[in-house]
Amino acid sequence: MARALVIGGGPAGLMAAEELARAGLQVSMTEQMPTMGRKLLMAGKSGLNMTKAEPREAFDAAYGARPEALRAALEAFGPERVQDWARGLGQAVFTGSTGRVFPEAMKASPLLRAWLARLAAAGVVLRTRWRFAGWDGAAALFDTPEGRQAEAADVTVLALGGASWARLGSDGAWAALMPGHVAPFRPANMGFGVAWSDHMRAHFGAPVKPVALIAGTRRVRGECVVSTRGLEGGGIYAVSAELRDGAALALDLLPDLDEADVARRLQAPRGKASLSNHLRKALKLDPVRLALLHEFARPLPGEAAALAARIKALPVPLTGPHTLDEAISTAGGLRFEALDDALMLRDRPGTFAAGEMLDWEAPTGGYLLTACLATGAHAGRGAAAWATARG
């Protein structure tokens, strides 16, 4: 029986192990942390968003220019397959109003327990506190509580993660073992700093909605949160790549009205009402959006047309992205040019790679987990086929 080694116990590694075991290989799996799936569990604390149910064209667009291997992986294991996989683990799913798909239990822990039990029943051997340390010829090296260990296998799948949330095991240290093949890590799906004035303190923690975020030519309807350090949340994450790469941020504080409608409402007589009260009554602006308008449009334009233009595209100066380790995910990683279409390393036959360690990025909303599962399945199938072809 051919032997397979999977290094990394996140969703991509677990999926690769499942594919390899299904193909009849003897599978060992290592994880440097004390338990498997720690980042998955953290992601599920506020509800595990597994995938996104939406027209396929919109789903594919979330990944930008996709290398062929990523395209093939997502074609074979897309949103419908993710939902079927969860149901197969006894986890009923539901789709929210925005198309985001969650397990009915919401948390990741029931799904992960069922998954690990299924892998154990398939004979997958799980080893924790084994940190990958490179290779010695054909053998993979690990630093373990029992000292340096070497593990040889017919095929290997690397699922070593990105470089965010180091406390959960994704520290990107593996990149030093593959010089010349790794694009520099950059934060993705992260918040941005804003130098707030004191009057914004009363609004820390407040959601900004409804709002549209404009970053260069990109416009996204969503919401964000005013934090002590700046802006965070799904809306800002959706445009974080553009902002990180130099685009300016503007907020449309009234995304359901066009600029002419806003100007017309502002022209209504206000009598003795202050401008703030007039804005609140005429436009139904809540306190946090009013505060943002005062923060970045002082002195407020007196002419209705000028004020309407500012409300529809309020410039927000940013001080920069939050740090790499604070990011939900990372861009950069193992370049697809170093891999063939089955995700095998070109200069190390029999070794495949999957998950966040690959050089791709996508917004939150189910896209991240779907691609991790999809590339894990793709690498696992590729590794199984490679081993089978060699007897």
CATH of the domain at 7: 3.50.50.60
Q: Indicate if 16 and 122 belong to the same structural domain.
A: yes
Q: Based on the fold, state whether residues 287 and 146 are members of the same structural domain.
A: no
Last residue of a domain, one of 292, 321, 350: 321
227 and 204 in contact (C-beta within 8 Å)?
Answer: yes
- Domain's final residue, options 321, 341, 357: 321
**CA 246 to CA 244: how far, in whole Å?**
6
Which whole-number Å values give the CA distances from 112 to 86, 105, 365, in the listed order? 10, 12, 19
Whether residues 19 and 130 share a domain: the answer is yes
Q: Give one word for 246, left, alpha or beta, with left for phi > 0 and alpha for psi -120 to 50.
A: left
Which structural domain, as residue segments, surrounds residue 197?
192-321
Strand order in the sheet with 320-321: 314-316, 249-252, 207-215, 218-226, 230-232, 192-193, 320-321
Q: Which residues pair with 147 in a beta bridge?
A: 144
Neighbours of 307 (CB within 10 A): 20
Tokens of 136: 């010695």
Q: How are strands ordered across the β-sheet holding 93-95? A: 51-52, 100-103, 93-95
Residues 128 and 9 reside in one and the same domain: yes
Say yes or no: 85 and 183 in one domain: yes
Q: How far is CA 30 from each of CA 241, 253, 281, rounded to the nearest angstrom? A: 32, 49, 60
Q: Are 365 and 62 in contact (CB under 8 A)?
A: yes
Burial of 180 (C-beta count, 10 Å sphere; 0-12/13-18/19+)? exposed
**SS3 assignment, position 292:** helix
**What token pair was written down for 354?**
């999957």
Are 210 and 337 in the same domain? no
Residue type, 163: A
Contacts of 17 (CB under 8 A, 6+ apart): 4, 6, 27, 29, 119, 124, 157, 380
User: Count of H helices and E strands in the chain?
Assistant: 13, 20
Structural domain ending residue among the three candidates 293, 321, 349: 321
Task: Write the DSSP string, 295-333.
Answer: HHSPSPPSSHHHHHHHHHSEEE---EEPPGGGSSEEEEE
Same domain, 207 and 178: no
Residue type for position 33: M
Q: How many CA atoms lie within 13 A of 49 on its CB side?
A: 16
| Same-domain status, 114 and 231 | no
Residues 173 and 245 both lie in one domain: no
Distance, in Å, from the CA atom of 104 to the CA atom of 132, rounded to the nearest integer, reads 35
Q: Do 303 and 336 lie in a common domain?
A: no
Residue listed under structure tokens 């953290």 = 42
391 residues of the chain, pLDDT tens digit each: 899 999 999 999 999 999 999 999 999 999 999 999 999 999 888 899 999 999 999 999 999 999 999 999 999 999 999 999 999 999 999 999 999 999 999 999 999 999 999 999 999 999 999 999 999 999 999 999 999 999 999 999 999 999 999 999 999 999 999 999 999 999 999 999 999 999 999 999 999 999 999 999 999 999 999 999 999 999 999 999 999 999 999 999 999 999 999 999 999 887 777 888 888 889 999 999 999 999 999 767 668 899 999 999 999 999 999 999 999 999 999 999 999 999 999 999 999 999 999 999 999 999 999 999 999 999 999 999 999 999 7
Cβ distance 265 to 282 under 8 Å? yes
Tokens 């032997």 belong to residue: 3
CA-based nearest residue to 378, from 329, 339, 338: 339
Helix (H, G, I), strand (E, B) or coil at 259: helix
Q: Read off φ and ψ for residue 372, nearest 5 degrees.
A: -65, -45
Digit-coded pLDDT (tens) for 25-73: 999 999 999 999 999 999 888 899 999 999 999 999 999 999 999 999 9
Residues 352 and 263 in one domain: no
pLDDT of residue 299: 64
What pTM was computed for the model?
0.94
Q: Do 93 and 213 belong to one domain?
A: no
When divided into structural domains, the chain yields a total of: 2
